[in-house]
Structure 1
Amino acid sequence: MSIARRQPLFRRFRSVGVPAFVFAMAASGLGADAAHAQGGAGAADSSTPWPMEPPARICGNAAVLDGPATPPGGAIVVPAGDNSGFDFNRPGATFWFAPGVHTLGDDLYGQIIARDGATYVGAPGAVIDGRNLNLYAFTGTATNVTIRHLTIRNFGRGLDNNNEGVVNHDAGDGWLIEYNTVVDNDGAGVFLGSGNTVRYNCLKDNGQYGFSMFKMPVEGGPAITGIELDHNEIAGNNTDDWEVLEPGCGCSGGGKFWDVQGARVTNNWVHDNKSVGLWADTNNIDFLFEGNYIENNDDEGIWYEISYNATIRGNALINNAWVKGLRNQGSPAPAIYLSESGGDSRLSTATSGAARIRVHDNYFENNFSGVSIYENTNRFCNSNGNTSKGYCTPFVTPTLIPGPHDYDYVDPINAAHPCYTRIAEEPYRTDCRWHARNIEVVRNEFHFDPDVVPCEGADYCGVQALIATGADNLPWSPYTVAEIQEQVMFNAGNRFAENRYFGPWQFAKRWGERIGFAAWQVAPYLQDTGSTSDQSGGPGPGPVGNLVDADTATLEGSLGSWGAWYGAEVARSDAQAHGGGYSLRVDVVDAYWGVEVANYPGYAASPGNKSVSVWVRGGVGNPVNPRLVLDWRAGDGQVLDTSVLALPVQEAGWQSVDAVVQAPAGAATVSVVLVGTGSAGTSFYLDDLQIEDAQP
């Protein structure tokens, strides 16, 4: 999908003097101690903590990428041409690749098996070319390997390298990968192991990822520890479009972290990737994302998923998730997605600095949405909602799980798993699931212009989200959707505060109902304390769209929040429907009856004229005087006024009720009930309830 994007505001409207970034290379005896000016610009100016320009302009930058023109002292010269017979089996040696194209033979497994302590350095113009004949460039479990100043391209045959890496294929420990161009390879350009540093590289146009990593899980903690990615340009990756090849695989992006403890991700330019920019997925712990310039990625800029303890600060996120937002209009497509992730004091904070997830002092401009905090009710160990098959949280280790452990994509349900047999008991009830908790989104600047972002009717464009969804469809699960929604919204230590908003932002809460800034700030939500908005000269607009959540309004996904109050029974029915396939059936069982939307104190609302619409029809007999009652409440729950609409229930067919009512000054919420009288055995149907701002 081709989408025209504008430059960020600070490039278009500010006059900022940004000094050139000067690279001071460490003296290494390899001729790499020259200063490379203009390798990147964009240290934040004195007024902003985020970069004003990309800090890592690496791709095509000879001043950074070119290596020594002559062999370093003691180096072994590797001539250009076919190197398939060259003896690379020399631990501790330095190999200097002469200018020109180097190949590794025609064999599928033609490769360089790295040796402990070896250094591989390229002259200007040195290229290792897999010619789409060889799968991998550098392999093996050697430690303390260095790779510098090489162009490594065209490894992989078609789609053969799925979930595999070309450089450091076996995730060796202690590798230093710097000043390279890794381009046009299948799979991931670079794999990382423990203690790896990847810096000043161009990781571009690779089939699946610019970088990734995987090691089999180990007891006692993550499989990979202590990695650093700094001043890389990570661009245009996922050229093979893996999310289309394997729908729902979650296996693409600029780069992906898996089961890592301690990662510093700093000063990178992550742009135009055909999926997520930076994706940390599954039991990542103790991350720092700082000083990165993340723009024009098709999907989220940063996705931190079922992981723990992170600081995300001083980054610029611009024009991200436009493609995903248009493709998946039923949920937010944010610049930063915090999915079942949170802070936990039992885990390391050495890199992140806090037993929380802290998103602070970042700049957001014209992303499809802002920050989404989300939890899936059914995503926990050994459930069919856990897409990281075979993995559990760090608090339920493999030694506690009886039987064999298959970490491939298999049926997750194991009847002997403690997260099945003891899931209702503590500590399993808490520790068998990943939680969206202990998250702070503070002191950020959010810009959103709906005339720039291609919202095209999407409900969740320009939205901040604090939500939970799911279904109550696992009989053995101790969790309910309502419980998790309440936990995430009110009891998990999640807060937005001291942010600055520019543009008509909306705020999604609980299951995803959208409200305006004013309703977001007051009871019961009390979010964004100390924050400001430029809308309406003050706190911003009230609730947007239908105040009633989709399931309660339409019954299409579930019964919603409808519940029997007294003298009646309620059910989700497919026998009659006005719109879609379902409606609410009310069966009267006593002379006086009531039905409620059980979400006290009701839906967030604001003062002013409201348009109310609902459809009803008779079932068996005719209830007497059925009415829709709206109680308009203040922030403390006090009823300020009541609106009553008569419902013309008739067996002949669906009838609409449409009215404009007045929400009084001070209204913060509205609660909804149905009441009436009539003989037991009567029934009626209700569908498509809407309460929204009246159009002028």
Structure 2
Amino acid sequence: MGALLAVVTITNLLVGQAASAATTAERASGGWYAELPDALRVCENAPWKGGPASAPSGAIVVPAGDNKGFDFGQAGKTYWFAPGTHTLGDGSYSKITPGGDSVFVGAPGAVLDGKNINLYAFAGGAANVRIAYLEVRNFGTGKDNNNEGVINHNSASGWVMEYLYAHDNDGAAVFLGDGNTIRHSCLKDNGQYGISMFKDQVEGDSAIKNIVVNNNEIAGNNQDDWESRIEGCGCTGGVKFWDVQGATVTENYVHDNLSVGLWADTNNIDFLFDRNWIEHNDSIGLWYEISYNATITRNVFKRNAWVSGKENLGSPGPAIYVSESGGDARLASAKSGSTNLNINDNYFEDNFSGISIFENTNRFCNSNGNTSKSYCTPFVAPTIIPKPYDYDYLHPINATHPCYTSIKNEPYRSDCRWHSRNVKVFDNEFRFNKANVPCAGTYCGVQALYAQGENNLPWMPYTVAEIQQNVMLTGGNSFHDNTYVGDWTFVKGWGEAISWNAWRSAPYNQEAGSTLNGATEPPPVPNALDADTATLEGSLGKWAAWYGSSVQRAAGAAHSGAYGLQIDVTAGGGWGVQLGNWPGFAAAPGAKRVSLWARQGTAGISAATVSVLWFDSDQQLLRTDQVPINGLSTNWQEFTAQLTAPASTATVMLEVRSANGAVGNSLHLDDIVVADQR
């Protein structure tokens, strides 16, 4: 399998239907994921030892020993490092500052050693530098270089870094800039990251563009444990991408990092993650955070987040974490091939959890809930939030920015947020054996589609309920055609666990075409009402007494299953019940079928009316339709109506009322459906 993987390059990459078909066939035959391909064992294969044994024609020879004062700044020159250890003197800022279009290549056994004295190995702004066949080690003085890079310290453009062994350095071993490539390298046991990047923000544009991370082994990074040194820094991992447009991240072996494996954080746009093997990282395998338009395909995720999952029991520890990220057709998609965020044809085995799609209600640009303080979304000017910052959580950080002065109005209400929407999870295989995983808490072995936050900012137009509805129901997020093996649980809303059947039923309607432990039954008919409100099987659902009545979940009121809704008349002069989740369940405009089964619990109620109330997204009533249920008897009858939800419909409510019936009379309702017509 290693030979097969070695010839898969970005030039013949297939992300769409053909790739899906190939991956499905691979899964059926035992799968390319069954064993780590030899081509990904970069640290073991040691390609950095394969440099030229003698100086290339015209190259400047760099002798082993102390190279302090050596002229490394000549443009267009090739430097050949002789075998042995090379040092750069005893100054903290002693380093190599290349000239443009220069090449630095090492002989077998060439080592560049910072002696834990020098901070950086290669720095400066020269473009189009190539560094190859070198071991680079011991830069930094011990637990320093926070958020700084050792190789390409200034994120200069056009650099190609390949066949490197960069290890035991502080900060990030490698920084990337525009048009950079890092490939065929072992980036191991560095203090903060194997790879990272940072350039100053560019108003209205991405700071870094078009990078390639291919066929690297990235392991054991975050040796200096920066998360414990700077609380909440979010500044560690195997790789950290920041403010990048256009990245291909392919055929990397990312494992045993003491934090996140791959982490794309803050306004990253148009990423392809393909054929990576991501295993046994302490935290999340792949985190896509406040970013856009990615394809995550044909990767292996095994045994990730075992440490972070146990340390943070209040949320899932997923293999893939989609946090305030998704697809947006207004942004670039050349690398990803999609204006969605697609997660397809991947293999997951014994991670702490599977995939979490999450949105923090309080995280939007110009909010103190946003940890990327000076950044706004790509759709609001200025995209760089100007100072002053006010760190009082109840107030804006800049009171003159549109994401304060105009945030209640469109387009700002929508565009001031990073949204978790248009995330498609399909054709993946998820395996989870609880006996193999150090589970703790309630979020081990889960798939999650949820939102949290607080309604505590007086100037914030968003509510937790609205964002939860968007993430779960109206934002275009879907799981479908996946294969599940094991004891999986599904999480929604605030983080409440629900069953496979509830996850697949209205209002969530997830996993069409998916199977769990071989089950292949078709998905249930979509219903705007949740399962309990429709069938009463798990609880009373959202039903609530209104006037002259009481309601209960009763075994004697079941049309199908074990329970139904019993309405008891408690006062004369008429009665009513209603849904208690105003403004109701998510619904879309268009043709609908409303149906329910009804009968008298006791004689006395001969007729009632079901009112169907349609609301828009501003919770304004658009129209009320009446569905009469007449001629009631003690026998079950089905009542149906064909209705059309008005344009702009966002939610639907139900009320049931009657002017007849005496105290002690009862009515039974069950199997209540509000669904699209087919």
Name 2:161's counterpart in structure 1: 177
Return the match for 2:446 from 463, 468, 475: 463
RMSD: 3.7
Please tell me whether the aligned partners of residues 157 and 177 of structure 2 are also in contact (alpha carbons under 8 angstroms).
yes
Q: Which amino acid aligns with 1:47?
A: E
**1:608 Cα offset (Å):** 6.3
**SS in structure 1 at match of 2:490:** strand
* 2:498 pairs with 1:515: yes
Q: Find the partner of 1:288 among 251, 267, 272.
A: 272
Counterparts of residues 303-452 of structure 1 (less than 5 Å): 303-398=287-382, 403-404=386-387, 413-452=397-436
Equivalent residue number for residue 527 of structure 1: 510
Alignment of 1:231 onto 2:215:
yes
What is the CA distance between 1:486 and its match in structure 2?
0.7
Separation in 2, partners of 1:640, 1:453: 48
Partner of residue 26 from structure 2, selected from 39, 47, 52? 47
Change (3 A) 1:175 1:412: farther
| Gap runs ≥5 in structure 1 | 1-16, 26-42, 541-546, 549-560, 568-591, 598-605, 611-628, 644-670, 672-696
- Distance (Å, rounded) in 2 between the aligned partners of 1:521 and 1:381: 34
CA 1:285–1:63: 2 relative to 1, 3 Å: closer
SS of the equivalent of 2:471 reads helix
Q: Call closer, same or farther: CA 1:21–1:639 in 2, change over 3 Å.
A: closer
Cα distance change of structure 1 residues 471 and 58 upon mapping to structure 2, 3 Å threshold? same
Q: Distance in 2 between matches of 1:23 and 1:490?
A: 41
Q: 1:74 aligns with which of 30, 55, 58?
A: 58
What code does the residue aligned with 2:446 have?
A: V
Aligned with 2:196 (options 200, 212, 217): 212
Deviation at 1:487, TM superposition (A): 1.1
CA shift, 1:66, in A, is: 2.3
Aligned counterparts of 2:599 and 2:347: Cα–Cα separation in 1: 42
- Checking the alignment, whether the CA contact within 8 Å between 1:50 and 1:316 is kept in structure 2 is no
Which residue is equivalent to 2:645?
none
SS at match of 1:243: helix
Deviates more, 1:57-66 or 1:233-242: 57-66
Code of the aligned partner of 1:110: S
Match of 2:437 among 441, 447, 453: 453
Q: Which amino acid aligns with 2:508?
A: Y
2: distance between equivalents of 1:65 and 1:607? 69
**How do 1:156-195 residues align onto structure 2 when only pairs under 5 Å count?**
156-195=140-179
List per-residue Cα deviations over 1:351-384 (Å, max 9, x = no partner): 1111110000000001111111110101001111
Task: Give 1:220 shift.
Answer: 3.0
* 1:584-663 to 2 correspondences below 5 Å: 638=596
In 2: Cα distance, 1:366 partner to 1:165 partner: 33
Aligned counterparts of 2:330 and 2:414: Cα–Cα separation in 1: 13
- TM-score w.r.t. the length of structure 2 is 0.74
Name the CA shift for 1:593/1:302 in 2 (closer, same or farther; >3 Å): same
From 69, 82, 86, the equivalent of 1:98 is: 82
Rounded Cα–Cα distance in structure 2 between residues aligned with 1:271 and 1:107: 34
3-state SS in 1 of match to 2:248:
strand
| 2:43 partner SS | coil
Structure 1 residues 235, 405: closer, same or farther in 2, change over 3 A?
farther
Question: How far 1:241 moved relative to its partner?
Answer: 1.1
1:47 is paired with a residue whose SS is helix
Matched, 1:299 2:283: yes
> 2: CA distance between counterparts of 1:65 and 1:640?
79
Q: How many equivalent residue pairs?
A: 545
Pair 1:539–1:46, CA change in 2 (3 A)? closer
Mapped partners of 2:546, 2:190: distance in 1: 62
Render the CA deviation track for 1:432-457: whole Å, top value 9, x for unaligned: 0000001100000000101111113x
Could you tell me how far apart the structure 2 residues matched to 1:350 and 1:238 are? 32
> Secondary structure at 1:374's aligned position in 2?
strand
1:130-279 residue pairs with structure 2 within 5 A?
A: 130-279=114-263
Secondary structure of 1:86's partner? coil
Deviation at 1:159, TM superposition (A): 2.1
Following TM superposition, by how much is the alpha carbon of 1:219 offset from its aligned partner in structure 2, in angstroms? Answer: 2.2
Q: List per-residue Cα deviations over 1:126-164 (Å, max 9, x = no partner).
A: 000001001000000110000000000000112220000
Match runs of 1:19-38 below 5 Å: 19=3
Please say if residues 138 and 170 of structure 2, whose CA atoms lie closer than 8 Å, have aligned partners that are also in contact.
yes
**Residue 61 of structure 1: how far off its partner (Å):** 2.1
8 Å contact 2:203–2:384 — kept in the other structure?
Answer: no
| Secondary structure at the counterpart of residue 435 of structure 2 | coil
The Cα shift of 1:510 comes to 1.9
Note the C-alpha offset of 1:65: 3.8
Is the Cα–Cα contact under 8 Å of residues 517 and 539 in structure 1 kept in the other structure? no
Contact 2:390-2:398 within 8 A present in 1 as well:
no
Distance 1:472 1:228, change over 3 A: same
Question: For each residue in 1:546-603, what CA deviation from the matched residue of structure 2 results, as whole angstroms up to 9, or x when unmatched?
Answer: x99xxxxxxxxxxxx9999769xxxxxxxxxxxxxxxxxxxxxxxx798999xxxxxx
Q: 1:359·1:441 contact (CA, 8 Å) conserved in 2?
A: yes
Match of 1:38 in 2: none
The CA distance in 2 between the partners of 1:192 and 1:63, in whole Å, is 21
Please state how far the C-alpha of 1:519 moved relative to its aligned partner. Answer: 1.2
- DSSP 3-state at the match of 2:465: helix
TM-score by length of 1: 0.72
Query: C-alpha separation between the residues in 1 aligned to 2:307 and 2:598?
Result: 44
Cα distance in 2 for partners of 1:63, 1:182 equals 12
* Separation in 2, partners of 1:609, 1:596: 10
Deviation per CA, 1:213-252, whole angstroms, max 9, x where unpaired? Answer: 0111112310000000000000000011111111211000
Deviation digits for residues 112-134 of structure 1 (CA, Å, limit 9, x no counterpart): 01210110000111000001001
Taking a change above 3 Å as real, the CA distance of residues 313 and 21 of structure 1, as seen in their structure-2 partners, is closer
Q: Secondary structure at the match of 2:473?
A: helix
The answer on whether the counterparts of 1:506 and 1:515 sit within 8 Å (CA) in structure 2 is yes
